[in-house]
Each structure stands twice: as C-alpha cells, then as structure tokens.
Structure 1
Amino acid sequence: MVKERRDREKYRERLLRQVKDFEKLKAAFAEEKAKFESERKSEEWGREGLKGKLRAAEELLSKECADWKEVCKKDNQRMYATRSKITDLEAQNATLTKKVEDVEADKERVEDELKAQVASKDKDLHAKDVEIAELKCRLR
C-alpha cells in the first residue's frame, strides 16, 4: 500500500507538473494567439490604410489627368488660333509682296516711258531749236 501510495503521489506530482506545464503552454499559446491576432489586425488595417491611400492617389491622379487634358485642350485651341493667324498673315504678306512687285514693275515701266517721252521731247526741242535757228538765219 505504501508503494501504491508513493506511486500515486508520484503520479499526482507528475500530473501536477504536467498541468503546470500545460497552463504555462496554454498561457504562452494565448499570448502568441493574441500577438498573432494583433499582427493580423494591424496588417489588415495597414492593408486597408494602404488601399485607402491608393484609392486617394488614384482619385488625385485621375483629377490631375483631367485637369491636364483640359489645359492641353485649351493650349491646343490657342495654338490652332495662333497657327491660323500666322497662315492668314503669311497669305496677306504674299499678297502685299505681289502688289509691291507689281507696283515696282509699273513704276519702272512708267519711268521708262517718261524717259522715252523726255528723250523724244528733248529731240523735238532740239529739232525746234534748230528750226528756230534756221528761221532766225532766214529772217536776217
């Protein structure tokens, strides 16, 4: 009986040690589980936070893209208007250049005609002078 009692006490001590070990392991497991849950929540929150930041960045990017497109549209309109003005001015410049060339050609033609008329008038005057001189000689 004594032997059985010793065996039971050893068995009881062993069970108590196992229960203590189990309680320690259970506490460590609960602590690890809490830590894991905490990390998981922080990852989820972090992930959600990052998703929120990503959404905000995408919205900002789409808004800036729309603004950029609007600015480009206005810039293109301004450039098109400027280009059409330049084209119109080039056409006017060509027209005016042609008119100037025509006027200069007319001027040269008129000058040549005037020179020819002056030359013929000079010849006529010279001929008249000769005729007058002859008439003066005859009168004397």
Structure 2
Amino acid sequence: MQLESFALEKGCTYVIKEKIPNRAYRIFSDAISQGARGLIVTRIYPPKLKSKYEIRDSVIYWLTNVRMDIAIRPKDLEELSFKLEKFILANEGAIIIIDGLEYMITNNDFTTVLKFVQSLRDQVAIKNAILLISINPLTVEPHNLKLLEEEADYVI
C-alpha cells in the first residue's frame, strides 16, 4: 500500500468526506509509521481491517452488538468516550480514527453523537492528539453534515 503523505496538525480534528474510508486509513497509517500511537473505532471486522489497510500496533474497538473483548456497542457512547479519553491521556500526540460515525448515528440520534464528537474534540485539543473522522456525506442529512464540519478544524 502506498501511503499518502499528509501533514497533520496536532490538537486538531479532521472530517474526511469519502464513501469508503481509504484516504482516512492512508493518513492514519502514515502517522503510525512516523511513530504516533493509534486507536481505531470502526465498523469493519478487525481482522479484515488489519489485512485490508495493513494496520499494526494500534488499539482497535469494533462498533458492534456482538459481545467480544474488543467490541463496543454503538449505543454505549459513554463507555467509548471513557476509553478514548483514557487512551488520549496516556498517549499524548496520539491519533484516533473513527470510521463508524454513521452506525453510531443510526443507533443513537444525531445530537447525541454530535455531543460525543464535541467532547472528544476538546480532549484531542488539550492533549495534542489528532482525530480523523471518516464519513460518507451521502449518509447524513446536509444540515447535520454541516454541524459536524463545524466541529472540525479541517474538512477534507
């Protein structure tokens, strides 16, 4: 896999609009290869994700209702928020990617998920981390997409 070199600014949130999270994972992999500690929140089954995007040395949480050690239920945003905050505090300058925001929205409501993003954005800024949110713009109402974009430092 050829990595896309992309200069990321620490303490920032990026919304990456794409149908499939390929670009977001290229950016994530590039940051990991440069020494950043990474955490992934995904709808993709982790063994498949690792194979497809050549992911190594990253914490992975799978958004699913299947009970597994690495699974987080999409309705349990409080638990997810706690795990992300703990990771950010322990790994200053870390990079986090979320590619399952649409799934979180369908299992909660948009306002609840937006509040989750707002809180996470603040933690990222405080600890000089980087947050990548990959979202398919066709799956979110335009008004809601605009609200999400307003929470980002950069929209790609």
Mark yes or no: TM-score above 0.5: no
Pick the structure with greater CA Rg: 1
TM-score range, shorter chain: under 0.3
Larger relative contact order (CA 8 Å, sep ≥ 6) = 2
TM-score (norm 1): 0.15
Higher-strand-fraction structure: 2
Q: Which has the higher helix share?
A: 1
